[in-house]
Amino acid sequence: MDYVKLHVISTGNQELECLAKIIGSIYPYIDAIHIREKTKTAKEIYELVRLLFDNNVPLSKIIINDRVDVAYVSKVGGVQLAYHSLSTDIVKNQFPSLKVGCSIHSVDEAQFAQQQGADYVIFGHVFPTQSKPGLDAKGLDQLKIVSSSVAIPVFAIGGIKPSNVQEVIKAGAKGIAVMSGILEAENPLEAVKEYNQKLKEAFDELSV
């Protein structure tokens, strides 16, 4: 493992101006910011990208969920696809400038995403989380199986706190994705620094 990454995903609960300001303060400590705003129009998502750019967030760090059209015209770094999105191979072929990630929940989905040309996958939810009430967590054992089943990076999502970062990386994840744990923290900057430190410690331990 040469590096572990921190992805931050918007929750859909914050005003866009507030969200842009928070991300503007934390972007040096993260590898990617996912715009996951299911209730927003294409125009609103595009405007959020402009707001982020105005707050000095590099376009290369921005990933837009599902909306390939907005990702392409706003010249961001990539797009995150779900089961209802355009297929990965179509996006890779038609929009080669975009990095493509897939949200997956099983070994089969991970392997299919890799076959289709995905650059990485996000697997979850690993631990119980309020954003997925009533759904069983996948757990660390399943994360380990998925991570070892593909050559592309697997990032873990769901209930990840600084206290369990180490076991997530130990299970084979190449990084983590965090939503409310950072963006809705009392102090997002302190929160992102704590996650960063835990990732560094986990990486250093595996590198020994």
User: Could you give the residue numbers annotated as active site?
Assistant: 125
Q: Strand pairing partners for 122?
A: 103, 155
Contacts of 19 (CB under 8 A, 6+ apart): 10, 48, 183
Is 206 within 8 Å of 176 (Cβ atoms)?
no
User: Which residue reads 């997002």 in tokens?
Assistant: 188
Q: DSSP readout, 4-21?
A: -EEEEE--S-S-HHHHHH
Beta-sheet strands, E only, within the chain:
5-9, 32-35, 62-65, 78-81, 99-104, 120-124, 154-157, 175-178
